[in-house]
Amino acid sequence: MATTTQKGFTQSQFAIAMVFLIPSFIGFFGFFAWPALRGIYLSFTEYDMLRDPVWTGIDNYVNMFQDPIFLNSIGVTLEYVFLNIGIQTVLALLIAVLLHRFTRSIVIRGIILLPYLIANVIVALVWYWLCDYNLGLINSALDGLGIQRMGFFGNETLAMPTIAFVNVWRHVGYTALLIFAGLVAIPRDVYEAAEVDGAGEWRIFRSITLPLLRPVLAFVLVVTLVGSFQIYDTIAVTTEGGPVHATRAINVYIFQQAFEQRNFGYASAMAVILMIFLAFIAIAQNKLLKANENDLDR
């Protein structure tokens, strides 16, 4: 060992590192890089999974922007993301502040997180049942109060907001916990000083909490926004894209094109566009994140 030169030492660690990385390289090339390249290739073909793919150039990409259902799916997805992220972020901020200012109980934080640990499919079915038109608790209660029953999942206008709400219910606790962690990191004396100065709760929130929380909020938005665009499970087990196309979000449409219509090439092309779009968002948000360093550091 002692006679090994510095260079030789480094080289031997390179060899060991490669051995340690064998399973991960298999994974990276076998289940990521190769499939990714294959997906890009297939996006330029027509492929039904039975016959060999036929090269069609950029046809899939051209057709996409003339396909009213695809264009609709973008609109529908944006509607979902806007409702889901908008409501979720505001509500999570409120819950985080409540957790921060009124309790120290980790049990309460655990309860708030619980829905996030339950499968999307289960959460979707529980709310599908609660919202059922004839027998569901919510409509039965509305009926009891003399209000007209509502087809939450069955009505074209209500379906997407309902799904957005269901996922807010599942994710809001997780988001609140991330924001809560940011709140805990704010030095305590800042609050004490503000209280000594006689600042009210709202003033403290607006002038201390919110500005100091900006980097955490930016991080939370990156995480939740990219996830939100990929909405699938909840729709798949409830409306399956309907009524008509009201909840046919982009991932739902990609899936249906690939496995129900057997337009695998077309589905791949849409997946490529989705990926480029999400990469764009992630990069833009990263820039924003860097520009918004914590005000304490200034």
Partner 1 sequence: MSKLSEFINSKRRQVENEDSSALVKSPVARFFGLTALTLIILGTLFPLYWMLRTAFSTNKSMFSDATSLAPVDFTFGAIKRVLGLATTQEAIAEGGSGGQISFLHYMGNSLIVCTLIVVFQIGFGALAAYAFAILQWRGRDTVFAIFLVALMVPGIFTLLPNFLLVKELGLLNSYLGIALPAMFMAPFSVFFLRQFFLGINRSLIEAATIDGASHFRIFRVVAAPLVMPQILTLSILQFIFYWNDYLWPFLVGQSEDSKLLTVGLGIFRSQTPQGNPDWAGLMAGALIAAIPIIIIFLIFGRRIVGSIQSSGVK
Site for partner 1 in 184-243 (CB under 8 A): 184-188, 191-192, 195, 201, 216, 219-220, 226, 229-230, 232-233, 236-237, 240
> By C-beta, is 83 or 115 nearer to partner 1?
115
Nearest to 259 by CA among 59, 42, 49, 40: 49
Chosen residue from 164, 180, 235, 246 binding partner 1 by CB under 8 A: 180
> By C-beta, is 72 or 169 nearer to partner 1?
169
- DSSP for residue 63: H
Parallel/antiparallel/unpaired status of strands 54-55 and 45-46: antiparallel
* Nearest distance, CB of residue 66 and partner 1, angstroms: 22
Nearest to 221 by CA among 273, 291, 281: 281
Q: What is residue 45's three-state secondary structure?
A: strand
* Nearest distance, CB of residue 117 and partner 1, angstroms: 5
* Nearest distance, CB of residue 71 and partner 1, angstroms: 18
Contacts 24+ apart (CB under 8 A), 93-102: 93/176, 93/179, 93/217, 95/172, 95/173, 95/176, 96/176, 96/177, 96/179, 96/180, 96/182, 96/183, 97/183, 97/205, 97/209, 99/176, 99/180, 100/180, 100/183, 100/184, 101/201
Q: Which of residues 68-107 bind partner 1 (CB under 8 A)?
A: 94-95, 98-104, 106-107
Chosen residue from 87, 113, 210, 289 binding partner 1 by CB under 8 A: 113
Chosen residue from 71, 121, 244, 296 binding partner 1 by CB under 8 A: 121
* Nearest distance, CB of residue 264 and partner 1, angstroms: 7
> By C-beta, is 130 or 158 nearer to partner 1?
130
296 binds partner 1 (CB under 8 A): no
Angstrom distance (rounded) from CA 284 to CA 292:
13
- Number of helices and strands in the chain (H, E): 14, 2
For partner 1 (CB under 8 A), the number of binding residues is 107
Q: Which helix (H) or strand (E) holds 122?
A: helix 120-130
* Nearest distance, CB of residue 86 and partner 1, angstroms: 18
Nearest to 160 by CA among 242, 256, 278: 242
For residue 84, count other CB atoms closer than 10 A to its CB: 25
* Nearest distance, CB of residue 230 and partner 1, angstroms: 6
* Nearest distance, CB of residue 49 and partner 1, angstroms: 7
* Contact window for partner 1 (CB under 8 A) among 61-69, 78-86, 114-122, 157-165: 114-122
Chosen residue from 56, 60, 77, 120 binding partner 1 by CB under 8 A: 120
Query: Can you say how many angstroms the Cα of residue 4 is from the centroid of all Cα atoms in its chain?
Result: 50
Burial 95-117 (b: 16+ CB within 10 A, else e): bbbebbeeeeeeeebeebeebbe
> By C-beta, is 30 or 86 nearer to partner 1?
30
268 binds partner 1 (CB under 8 A): yes
8 binds partner 1 (CB under 8 A): no
114 binds partner 1 (CB under 8 A): yes
Chosen residue from 64, 179, 235, 249 binding partner 1 by CB under 8 A: 179
> By C-beta, is 109 or 245 nearer to partner 1?
109
Q: Which helix (H) or strand (E) holds 54?
A: strand 54-55
